[in-house]
Chain A
Amino acid sequence: MPIHTNETQFIHDIRAALGIRANNSDARQKEIFTDPAQPPEAQQMLLDTICARQHSDRMDLLDRLSREAVPLNLKVIPMKNEAEAAKAIAGLVADTTPEWGDKKSVVQWDHPMIKALALDSALKDQNVPVYTAAFDGSETSHNQKNLKRDQIREQVTASYIGVTSADFCLADTATLVMRSRPAEARSVSLLPSIHVAVIRKEQILSDMKELYALLKFDPDTRGKGLPHHMVMISGPSKTADIELVMVHGAHGPRALYLYVITGE
């Protein structure tokens, strides 16, 4: 591998092309990049709005999310609590068939809210195994981790339903936002034919502006940081590449069910 990255020469060439002679890059850098410790007025207002949100505001956001989800073929289903959501997911498993092969299995995140669904007992009657795609702490060596990664890949590939939560959900675009964590495998929302997501209504934001304001300027959210990977998902996979005819299920999940726990 070349260790040399060409950076110095490359940036020098850009500077020459821009006609920048004096190296005033520090001053320009200050002007271009905003300071996370000092949110501009517009961003501070967004943070205040999010903070001040009451129950009725959140229900309005849920309504907006449900409306925006319709044209995207994303099914938003409000649920009173985890038990009701688990029952609904068991119903979904009973009503659907696997796309590849004929054995049903479900894969889920190692996530508090998902664990609270107790899907393995909810699916016991149907004899459908539930895998949890995560390291369980027993893997310490590189080799053990690799073996576990292989096992997770196998389980995720075999499962036809993947169950996740999300960090946030944006009402304006019906978008699930997921920051990658070791307990939350990326492929669970990607390889299975059906993606099921469970969130609380408190996780719904208005739009991308609010999300970015939180990610950048909210001390709590910022503390956890923007990791090496984040994904935003707005509905199931779709394509219009043949004669502009809309078809769902090009490569990722063909269907996406979003259960929103309202807690009432």
Chain B
Amino acid sequence: MSDEILTDKYVENSTRAIEDDILQGALGKIQSGLAKATQASYRQLDEGPELRMTAHDIREKTINNLDVVLTQLAAKVRENGGKVYFAKTAEQAVAYTLDVARQFKVKQVVKGKSMVSEEIGLNPALEAQGIEVNETDLGEYIIQVAGEKPSHIIAPAIHKTREQVGRLFAEHLGVPYTDDPPELTRIARKALRDKFLQADMGISGCNLACAETGHMTVVSNEGNIRMSTTLPRVHVAIMGMERVVANLEDHDILFRLLSRGAAAQKLGGCVSYIGGPGGPDFPDGPEAFHLVILDNGRSRILADPKFREILYCIRCSACLNACPVYGKIGGHAYGATYCGPIGAVLTPLMVGMNKAKDLCLGETLCGACRQACSVNIDLPRMLLELRYRLAYGDDDWQTKQVSPLEKTIHQAWAFLAGHPALYRAFLKAGAMGQKVFPKYRGMIRKMPGPVAGWTRDRDIQPLAHTPFRERFKTLSSKKVR
């Protein structure tokens, strides 16, 4: 990832997010509204919510045959007139896009919302070449004007109030202040219409490609992706290599689930199937279409059977809307492109487990993400697996053991648990020793040294003077009537 990674500021940024009332209000709205609506929309499926399990099987099969599926996709896209490039790294994907831009003498780019372009740091690279880049999704446009980063996969500016957007537009676009969402939308519509008509290059991501027909499909409710992929002379689409289905039958199932997971819709407002340019016989549409298929660390994830399942993800963002941790800290705290439960698993695998360890440690393992997931990915299992690798270290992932001391303590504990006499003696000593700690209402308030963290934010229950096994003897000797 060429974007700045701030995963090591997770705790600090989370603390700040929790104190941000505006963010808390916005997150509350997403979680109370969208999360429930998505669950209801799963129940309304003809096949019922079990379709998520079917989708999981489909994804598993596709990922396990990714070589065959991608080969077919590339061949069919070429039949449709499109060009296909396989990028092993973010740098290769960026370089290829810049090459195409040079070939078409591109000065202005319009972009549909694409997380993968954030992942490879495409915008700064284009701008460094003197190319003007305009994000066209309203939320992305707002944060681009503000010079910020998305805080949600499908609602990137959810952390901003209408008043903030109004002030931002007044300051940067020279329009009178308004805090009316329809009026603010109209202002962006007008400003971006000119950009759409002037742009020489459109850039999009890809929601799901279909291998047998040779198309990539993109969805938007605003129509901005249709604009970006129809009006400029050249269209470059970038897709993570896992975002593909084999055939139309699978596409139907996954696309319906994607729409529901993302926005509790039956189907997104505008779905474009693109496999190539129309060419000179068509009255409009681009002259050239390039599909960039990106690895950027994904094949490494694919090679680890315990983490392969994360590649089933179709980025609907339903897990964000359900996650109690995301619901409190928002997207920015995760410090990388992908946030929420999906980010907590994916980011450590992409930028390094040690570097992003707090993301997987911060999640609660409550399982809400799995229930929300449109393809029923077992995210909690992978969060635990990451913790396991961090606890013991893993050379394959260049992961260093986080705390040798913790491991030693656990080994000592295991030893104690296997030796009852020693265990009892240890607890007895503990019950005596804990008297030195300051107490409040029978709870220990503060402990020193390496265990200080346990009492920093809460009081803890002291060890009982008379252990339960002692009391149990007297309890069981009393007659129960």
User: A residues bordering B, Cβ < 8 Å?
Assistant: 1-2, 5-7, 9-11, 13-20, 25, 28-29, 32-34, 40, 43, 68, 72, 100, 133-135, 142, 145, 148-149, 152-153, 156-157, 172-173, 175, 180, 182, 185-187, 190-191, 208-209, 212, 215-216, 226-245, 247, 249-253
Interfacial chain B residues near A7, Cβ < 8 Å: 71, 74, 84, 86
Asked if residues B26 and A243 are in contact (CB atoms below 8 Å), the reply is: yes
Asked if residues A208 and B252 are in contact (CB atoms below 8 Å), the reply is: yes
Cβ distance B157 to chain A, nearest Cβ, rounded Å:
6
Asked if residues B71 and A11 are in contact (CB atoms below 8 Å), the reply is: yes
Q: Which of A29, A172, A208, A247 contacts B72 (CB 8 A)?
A: A29
Cβ distance B184 to chain A, nearest Cβ, rounded Å:
6
What CA separation (Å) do A32 and B66 show in the bound complex?
11
Asked if residues B103 and A1 are in contact (CB atoms below 8 Å), the reply is: yes
Cβ distance B330 to chain A, nearest Cβ, rounded Å:
15
What CA separation (Å) do A68 and B252 show in the bound complex?
19
Q: Which of B62, B86, B212 has the most CB of A within 10 A?
A: B86
Asked if residues A229 and B285 are in contact (CB atoms below 8 Å), the reply is: yes
Asked if residues B293 and A186 are in contact (CB atoms below 8 Å), the reply is: no
Kindly supply a per-residue 1/0 record for chain B positions 293-315, scoring 1 wherever the CB is within 8 Å of any chain A CB and 0 otherwise. 10100011011000000000000
Interfacial chain A residues near B197, Cβ < 8 Å: 157
- Quick one: given A239-B222, A241-B138, are A10 and B86 in contact (CB under 8 Å)? yes
- Total interface residues on B, CB under 8 Å, equals 101
Asked if residues B222 and A215 are in contact (CB atoms below 8 Å), the reply is: no
Interfacial chain A residues near B103, Cβ < 8 Å: 1
Interfacial chain A residues near B88, Cβ < 8 Å: 6, 9-10, 13
- Quick one: given A180-B285, A245-B181, are A6 and B87 in contact (CB under 8 Å)? yes
Interfacial chain B residues near A186, Cβ < 8 Å: 226, 230, 284-285
What CA separation (Å) do A65 and B162 show in the bound complex?
35
Cβ distance A10 to chain B, nearest Cβ, rounded Å:
4
What CA separation (Å) do A135 and B80 show in the bound complex?
21
Give 17 A-B pairs besides A7-B84, A228-B278, A234-B268 with Cβ atoms closer than 8 angstroms.
A2-B85, A11-B70, A100-B193, A134-B283, A145-B280, A173-B266, A182-B281, A185-B282, A186-B285, A187-B284, A208-B252, A229-B278, A233-B269, A239-B222, A249-B186, A250-B224, A253-B223
State whether the Cβ of B276 lies closer than 8 Å to any Cβ in chain A.
Answer: yes
- Quick one: given A7-B74, A32-B61, A33-B72, are A231 and B223 in contact (CB under 8 Å)? no
Cβ distance A145 to chain B, nearest Cβ, rounded Å:
5
Q: Which of A19, A149, A230, A242 contacts B162 (CB 8 A)?
A: A242
Asked if residues A187 and B275 are in contact (CB atoms below 8 Å), the reply is: no
* 27 pairs, CB–CB < 8 Å, chain A vs chain B: A2-B99, A10-B86, A11-B71, A11-B86, A14-B299, A16-B299, A16-B303, A17-B303, A18-B67, A32-B65, A32-B69, A135-B283, A173-B267, A186-B284, A187-B284, A191-B231, A227-B80, A228-B82, A228-B278, A229-B272, A233-B269, A238-B221, A241-B158, A244-B30, A249-B186, A250-B188, A250-B222
Q: Which of B267, B280, B285 contacts A232 (CB 8 A)?
A: B267
Interfacial chain B residues near A242, Cβ < 8 Å: 138, 142, 157, 160, 162, 165, 181, 184-185
What CA separation (Å) do A173 and B41 show in the bound complex?
13
Q: Which of A28, A34, A133, A241 has the most CB of B within 10 A?
A: A241
What CA separation (Å) do A196 and B300 show in the bound complex?
49
Chain A residue nearest to B211 in the complex (CB): A33
What CA separation (Å) do A156 and B255 show in the bound complex?
31
What CA separation (Å) do A209 and B161 show in the bound complex?
40
Chain B residue nearest to A156 in the complex (CB): B284
What CA separation (Å) do A58 and B281 show in the bound complex?
36
State whether the Cβ of B144 lies closer than 8 Å to any Cβ in chain A.
Answer: no
| CB contact list, B207-238 vs A, under 8 A | 211-213, 215, 221-224, 226-227, 230-231
Counting from the closest, the 7 A-B pairs by CB-CB distance are A252-B223, A250-B222, A241-B139, A10-B86, A17-B303, A228-B276, A237-B223
Asked if residues B270 and A182 are in contact (CB atoms below 8 Å), the reply is: no
Interfacial chain A residues near B282, Cβ < 8 Å: 180, 182, 185
Asked if residues A11 and B266 are in contact (CB atoms below 8 Å), the reply is: no
Asked if residues A241 and B157 are in contact (CB atoms below 8 Å), the reply is: yes
What CA separation (Å) do A247 and B165 show in the bound complex?
15
State whether the Cβ of B371 lies closer than 8 Å to any Cβ in chain A.
Answer: no
- Quick one: given A173-B267, A180-B282, A185-B284, are A251 and B246 in contact (CB under 8 Å)? no
State whether the Cβ of B192 lies closer than 8 Å to any Cβ in chain A.
Answer: yes
What CA separation (Å) do A13 and B66 show in the bound complex?
11
What CA separation (Å) do A50 and B241 show in the bound complex?
36
Asked if residues B213 and A226 are in contact (CB atoms below 8 Å), the reply is: yes
State whether the Cβ of B431 lies closer than 8 Å to any Cβ in chain A.
Answer: no
What CA separation (Å) do A172 and B45 show in the bound complex?
11
- Quick one: given A32-B61, A228-B82, A242-B162, are A1 and B99 in contact (CB under 8 Å)? yes
Interfacial chain B residues near A9, Cβ < 8 Å: 86, 88
State whether the Cβ of B395 lies closer than 8 Å to any Cβ in chain A.
Answer: no
- Quick one: given A237-B221, A241-B137, are A231 and B71 in contact (CB under 8 Å)? no
What CA separation (Å) do A133 and B285 show in the bound complex?
13
Interfacial chain A residues near B247, Cβ < 8 Å: 32-34, 216
Chain A residue nearest to B285 in the complex (CB): A186
What CA separation (Å) do A19 and B71 show in the bound complex?
17
Asked if residues A243 and B162 are in contact (CB atoms below 8 Å), the reply is: yes
State whether the Cβ of B325 lies closer than 8 Å to any Cβ in chain A.
Answer: no
What CA separation (Å) do A33 and B332 show in the bound complex?
41
State whether the Cβ of B100 lies closer than 8 Å to any Cβ in chain A.
Answer: yes
Cβ distance B406 to chain A, nearest Cβ, rounded Å:
32
Q: Which of B71, B100, B189, B285 contacts A250 (CB 8 A)?
A: B189
State whether the Cβ of B447 lies closer than 8 Å to any Cβ in chain A.
Answer: no
Asked if residues A231 and B248 are in contact (CB atoms below 8 Å), the reply is: no
Asked if residues A33 and B246 are in contact (CB atoms below 8 Å), the reply is: yes
Q: Which of A25, A148, A232 contacts B270 (CB 8 A)?
A: A232
Q: Which of A18, A34, A187, A243 contacts B66 (CB 8 A)?
A: A18
Q: Which of A2, A43, A236 contacts B249 (CB 8 A)?
A: A43
Asked if residues A142 and B280 are in contact (CB atoms below 8 Å), the reply is: yes
Interfacial chain A residues near B162, Cβ < 8 Å: 242-243, 245
What CA separation (Å) do A1 and B266 show in the bound complex?
41
State whether the Cβ of B7 lies closer than 8 Å to any Cβ in chain A.
Answer: no
